Every structure is written in structure tokens, then in C-alpha cells.
Structure 1
């Protein structure tokens, strides 16, 4: 590996309970902040690799992985609970934090949809400095141990459509306690996450160092349009570059 844009890329596996998570670790030559990527329900780490590579070229150690029940996992997706998901992201976070190049006081998390929900929960369990979420999902705490795939979609939708205070559920309580920097990217035509849910999250982030909210015009929840994907990539990379640069100036 040589040159300022050189990146090491390694395939790794992590044991969680009796399951195996498959991930990809991308790291530059110089010790730098670390970023954990959490994909959405039904997705996989492939949707995050392009963003992770862009951040690695900026000088960040990045870790993408597949949640159990997805991609290379041998777990039954229909039996995976939200606790399983939280256990997965904590294990992935710990793997990233153990990397010798990672500054443990400078770890960020990037989550999409269900991955954003898990990212919020993670902030209550692990130190997170930067939290970036695209179309983050929200769920009631009821039936926490019910497999995620078997949750009543009507009940979940109704919960998202009502405004909630900071202590209404575990995710919002985590938001209320979070004191780092936050970026939320919304899709204008999101058919999965109502505006009320996003406003509840925004209201819960009362102690943040900074809060940024962006809306991608015309984008849907899945954001399949390459144009919208490019807009998101630019927003995410620009925000993280700004955050990392500011942190380096602070501790110089």
C-alpha cells in the first residue's frame, strides 16, 4: 500500500452468540477516526462500501458488515429480534474500536433506516462522537423480543405517525442523552418513515453538540435513483469531512 489514497481492505468475521457476522474493514495508513456503517433491514454491507471507501480516502478507518439474517449470515432472518440486531452492532463497534489505528474517542456511526434505529440504540451502550442517519426508522418498545420480521406493520406505522416525547421509547431516550454531532438525511417522498417520526427524533436531540437535517428532494425511502444516491453521498462525505476537520483543529 502506498500513496495518500491507499487503503487496506480485509474481509473479517465476528462471532455473536452462535452466529457469524461477515464484514469488511477498510483502513488507511495513518491513525484516524473510525466509522461504523449499519445497513437497513433487507439490505447488506454492499450498500455502504462506496461511502466507506470515500471516507477511508479522507483518512478514516471504516467498518461495514452484514447484520445476522442478511447476506452471508446463516441465521434465519424471520427469527432475528431487535436485541439480536443491537448485539450485532455492539460486536461490530467493539471490533472497530479494537483496531490499532482507531482513536476510540473519535468513533462515528452511519445508519440507514433500521440501521439508523440500531445506531440510536447503540449510542446508549457505546461512546459515539458522530451520528449520521439516513431515513432512520422508529419502533415502539413493545414486543422487543418478537422477531423483527413478525412485528405488526400496522401497529408500527401507527406509532410512527404519532408525535412522541424524548422518553417514549429506547431509541428516543438514547437521542435525548446523546451529546455528540448529528446528521439526519430525509427523503422527500419517504413512504416508510412519516415526517412525525423524524420530528420526534429531532425534538429528542436536546443535548447535541450540533444538529444538521437535510432533505433530498424527490427521493423515496429506498432511494434507488442514482441521482439521489449521489446527493446523499455528497452530503454524508461533506458532513463527516467537516466534523473530522473540526475535531483535528480542536485537539491540535
Structure 2
């Protein structure tokens, strides 16, 4: 039997690089992993890129999504090699919902993310100062500065995408609520977490892959080993 592993999906403005610390920690635990590089052009393209990455991984996988990556794994998680979904401060969307149209999880408190966005005709970037505060407020200054310097604009279309299928209805899922998050409000996370099979809550900000990669790796490794 092929040993299972993990496929990791980043959020908006990021790249596969944001999982480097987690992947190193997973390797230390004997867990194979791959990180998807999303085009961030629209949800359909990001979903297809993730399904292609699972194909290339070629073994049973736990599919992990951070933030917007949750919308991606919701659509991509019906891939036959995906055995479990892990949402990290992520958009565990339901039918008809998108990142900008939250449907039944609407009406909950917002954060300052909208204030940080810099919108042009076809792209959305982030103000560097506010981005460092909101995404990496609990990270060491050097970590926050290095990560913020690598952020890239995304297409406006990504905010409107609705998953074509809802994988968590048929695939087990774990939701990690980040209780001090300043990007996706913790109350919104808790509402989405009620859709998951199981929930854990951590006292951290939006980017635990940067601030607590060992804890992320421990959780992912636990879920991977549960497949064996």
C-alpha cells in the first residue's frame, strides 16, 4: 500500500513558499508532502491546479487549506485520492457561498482586512504595513517582514468563486480555529467549523504555518497517520 501524505494549499496573496516550515517539520516526522502553487486567477483555476497537484502526488492524501485555500479544497477535495480535509482559519464554504458572499455565515463580525486591500481594475493587493499587522501580527518582526515582502496581488475574480462541489459533505474534515485571527474573524471561523467533523482551537493569529509550524505539522501528521 502507498504511504499517505499531505497536500498543502495556500491562501490569497501567498504562494507555496508559506508552507516551507511546515513541510520541513512534516519531513522530520516522516510525512511526505507537496505544496500547491495557485495561479490565484479564479477559484475554478485554483481548484484545478490543486486537483492536478493531488494527481501528481499520486498517493492517498490529507488536503490542507489555509484561509482562501479552504474554498479551494472544498471544491478539489472530491478527488479520489483525498481522504480528509483540514481547514486552517479557512473558508469551509457551503452551496452558493464565496469568499465575498458568505451566505449563511454572513452577519458576523468583520476584521480590518477590507481596509488593508488595495483594489485596481482587475487586481487586489495589500497595504504592506497593515498586511504585516493583520496576517503576521503574532510573528517575530523578521518573519513578518520576510513573508510580507513575498506577497503578490491576486485577481478580483477569486473573491467571487463558488465551489462547484462541496467535498466536506462526503469527506471527513478537521477545522482549526485561530482565536486571535485579524483576517478571518474567529466567530466566522467558529460558524464554519460547525460544518467540520472535528474542531480544534489555537490561541494564535491568522498564519500558524509561520508562527507555529511544528503545531501545524503535528496536527497534519496526526491526520495522515489516522489514514494508515
What is the TM-score of this pair, normalised by structure 2? 0.62
Task: Identify the match of residue 70 of structure 2 among 108, 113, 116.
Answer: 116
Partner of 2:32: 61
Report the secondary structure of 1:64's partner residue: strand
Residue of structure 1 equivalent to 2:206: 221
How far off is 1:38 after superposition?
0.7
CA distance in 2, matches of 1:58, 1:223: 18
Distance in 1 (CA, whole Å) between partners of 2:39 and 2:165 is 24
Q: CA RMSD in A?
A: 3.3
Greater RCO (CA < 8 Å, at least 6 residues apart):
2
Contact 2:10–2:16 (CA under 8 A) maintained in structure 1: yes
The corresponding residue for 1:235 is: 215
**Residue in structure 2 matched with residue 184 of structure 1 by the alignment:** 175
Gaps of 5+ in 2: 109-161
The alpha-carbon deviation at position 141 of structure 1 amounts to 6.1
* C-alpha spacing 1:246/1:186, structure 2 compared with 1 (3 Å): closer
TM-score, scaled to structure 1: 0.57
Whose Rg is larger?
A: 1
Q: CA–CA distance in 2 between the matches of 1:55 and 1:162?
A: 37
48-57 or 183-192, which deviates more: 183-192
- Number of aligned residue pairs: give it: 175
Structure 1: segments with no counterpart, 5+ residues: 1-30, 70-79, 98-103, 145-150, 164-168
The structure where strand makes up a greater share of residues is 1
Secondary structure in 2 matching 1:192? coil
